[in-house]
Amino acid sequence: MKNTFALLLASTSLLATAASAEMLALEKEELTFGFIKLTDMAPLAVAYELGYFEDEGLFVRLEAQANWKVLLDGVIDGQLDGAHMLAGQPLAATIGYGTKAHIITPFSMDLNGNAITVSNDIWDEMKPNVPTMDDGRPQHPISASALAPVVEGYKDRGEPFNMGMVFPVSTHNYEIRYWLAAGGLKPGYYSAQDISGQIDADVLLSVTPPPQMPATMEAGTISGYAVGEPWNQQAVFKGIGVPVITDYDMWKNNPEKVFGITAEFAEENPNTTLALTKALIRAAMWLDANDNANREEAVEMLSRSEYVGADADVIANSMTGFFEFEKGDVRPAPDFNVFFRYNATYPFYSDAIWYLTQMRRWGQIDETKPDEWYFETAADVYRPDIYLQAAKLLVDEGMADEAAFPWDSDGFKAPTPAADIIDGISYDGRAPNAYIDSLPIGLKSGQTVVDSKVEG
């Protein structure tokens, strides 16, 4: 493993040293990128609107996609050259969970940006179980233990308790599962025979496309959901629901979306890959520059119908340093959306490994894998070598500060302390199996799901 990292860093250094400020000799200049209508597609919109793609000689078309599966299929079959992706998608595709394809990411798009929202009726039932502050407002973060008696009431009446998430390998699926399990609720397992994810579940989770979340909850089909912005704030603006926890309050500065391309595209178009990565890094820097000074301009961009298409006020409610929970309960949230600081754009292996541990925890990876498997899979998909080459080119061209990038990283973040995670369990990407076994609810080493029960 160490040798792999050393080779990556050495190759980065050699290639970067030889770089000049001249435009790269592009293998492909006209590109089409896909995205889903979410706030965190912002780096793509910014790179397009501010001319960063054109600066690199790239002529890019951005196309909104109907859902995450259509988006992934578009990248795999070549209709799309790359896309704003769920971080779990390149990993799942590469290991063959769902559609098999080798997808890589040279660029992580953001940190945080999601929340869990419940309907007004559910919130009314939860609220008596939530501690309050001196001013009478709810004490945050709110544990799913406050939801547990509500779910128990549904069970006693023989009614299913349904919640939504955006895709089986989405951050939102793993975050809502994490939150439920931390509060003592079982979110259900997957198996080779049953891919519903609802085996032995207290809360039944199902897929709903992000823009449809508020309407689906308003119709009563689901009682709550986990989604990215602006669809939590939309529930507040419409008066139909209450966000109860942000993912920042669940796990401070957790990884979110990535930019995905096929391994084949990167191999056939190495300079084009570097060029698009450079443009995206510049966009991320702009989004976080001067304490988010550009966010109002970004909100205006994103509110346009060709991008997110939500009201600017709704988008601004979470993207400009604040987050609204109950109507009128607006709280500071300067890091709710992070696009560049804290090395947000660097594709850390430890981020990839966290997603893989959650796939294993809930049965999407059906058998125990050695730690080395997690390391090798992460290195197959997350490509910090490409990222650092692009960053070095930007530094050489005077477009970025050398101190802004983690040149000496081996791909792993320092362990996340227990105090930064809602269940009080620290995460260390260097010890995936030990981490999985430390989680009270979920599969442990040697266990698998057969039919409708856990064995081993």
Nearest to 91, CA basis, from 278, 411, 390, 347: 347
Q: Is the per-residue pLDDT at 6 higher than 50?
A: no
Residue 284 and residue 361: Cα distance in Å, rounded? 32
- How do residues 84-113 score in pLDDT, each as one tens digit? 999 999 999 999 999 999 999 999 999 999
- What's the pLDDT score for residue 445? 96
For residue 428, the SS3 value is coil
Rounded to an integer, the average pLDDT of 216-243 is 97
Nearest to 353, CA basis, from 339, 341, 369, 340: 369
Q: Give the length of the chain.
A: 456
Among residues of the chain, what percentage have pLDDT more than 70? 95
Buried b (16+ CB within 10 A) or exposed e, 393-403: bbbeeebbeee
What pTM did the predictor assign? 0.94
Among residues of the chain, what percentage have pLDDT more than 90? 92
- The more confident residue out of 19 and 310 is 310
- The helix (run of H) or strand (run of E) holding residue 5 is helix 2-17
Nearest to 278, CA basis, from 267, 286, 289: 286
For 436, phi then psi, to 5°, come to -55, -45
Q: Which residue has the tokens 């003592």?
A: 184
- How do residues 162-220 score in pLDDT, each as one tens digit? 999 999 999 999 999 999 999 999 999 999 999 999 999 999 999 999 989 999 999 99
Residue 312 and residue 317: Cα distance in Å, rounded? 8
Residue 422 and residue 142: Cα distance in Å, rounded? 9
Mean pLDDT over all residues of the chain? 94
Burial of 376 (0-12, 13-18, 19+ CB in 10 A): middle
Rounded to an integer, the average pLDDT of 131-139 is 96
Structural contact between residues 351 and 414, judged by C-beta atoms closer than 8 angstroms: no
Residue 105 and residue 322: Cα distance in Å, rounded? 30
Q: Which residue has the tokens 């260390």?
A: 428
- What's the pLDDT score for residue 23? 87
What CATH code is assigned to 2-112+255-404?
3.40.190.10
CA atoms within 13 A on the CB side of 269: 21
- The more confident residue out of 16 and 445 is 445
Rounded to an integer, the average pLDDT of 231-238 is 96
Per-residue confidence band for 323, with pLDDT thresholds at 50, 70 and 90: very high
Fold (topology level) of 114-252: D-Maltodextrin-Binding Protein; domain 2 (3.40.190)
Rounded to an integer, the average pLDDT of 321-349 is 96
Nearest to 48, CA basis, from 260, 304, 402: 304
Per-residue confidence band for 22, with pLDDT thresholds at 50, 70 and 90: low
Residue 427 and residue 442: Cα distance in Å, rounded? 15
Annotated domain spans of the chain: 2-112+255-404, 114-252
Q: Is the per-residue pLDDT at 13 higher than 50?
A: no
Q: Which residues contact 438 (CB under 8 A, 6 or more apart)?
A: 425
Same fold, 2-112+255-404 and 114-252: yes
Q: Is the per-residue pLDDT at 20 higher than 50?
A: no
